[in-house]
Amino acid sequence: MALKTLLLVLVTALAGTMAADFSGNGQLRTLGLLPDPVDLGCLTNEGKWTTDEAKCGTFVAFLFDEVNFNLSTPTGACGMPWWGDGNTYLFKCGMAEGQIFAKYLGDKPGQSPIPGRDILRYVTAYAWSTSGPSPPAPSDEPLEIHMWRGSSKDKGRPIALAWKSLA
């Protein structure tokens, strides 16, 4: 086999086995936004933030095209219900009906604020925060997250949501 053909076969095989972000089974990892995208835990099956790895949820993502997908966990669908208390939206799983999410692509300049990492967005929002200690301690109850608005209800460090594929 010519080297060029062999390389082509290898590249094609790799592309075929590489899971796309926000597709199949995975975890939602919480990454700190600024000053560096350090991994600060994950979301539970309810869509709450925890730093106890044993509580990380299993998400199923269905990717409709390059960027749009929906999400569910064993508790139900994930979506963005209104958070009356804060004049913004919660991120929540365990509902009868969810919403369509999208991704900012990490390999496209000007999209994801974390170069090289695809992150979840809802319309144009990609930053989330809690109204409690952020990040929570591993022994804390998992914390609800809401869309970051830069208000006094947003505590601690804003986070982005990235994908970790599970086989």
Ligand X SMILES: *[C@@H]1O[C@H](CO)[C@@H](O)[C@H](O)[C@H]1NC(C)=O
Contacting positions for ligand X (CB under 6 A): 62, 70, 72, 77, 98
Q: How far is the CB of 90 from ligand X (least distance, A)?
A: 17
Closer by beta carbon to ligand X, 72 or else 129: 72
Q: For residue 36, how many other CB atoms are within 10 A of its CB? A: 8
Closer by beta carbon to ligand X, 19 or else 77: 77
Q: How far is the CB of 89 from ligand X (least distance, A)?
A: 17
Does residue 119 contact residue 57 with C-beta atoms inside 8 Å?
no
Closer by beta carbon to ligand X, 20 or else 77: 77
CA–CA dist 77, 140 (Å, integer): 25
CA–CA dist 101, 103 (Å, integer): 7
Q: How far is the CB of 70 from ligand X (least distance, A)?
A: 4
Q: How far is the CB of 29 from ligand X (least distance, A)?
A: 20
Closer by beta carbon to ligand X, 93 or else 145: 93
User: Which are the contacts of 146, defined by CB distance < 8 A and separation ≥ 6?
Assistant: 83, 86, 88, 89, 90, 91, 128, 129, 130, 131, 153, 154
Residue type, position 57, single letter: G
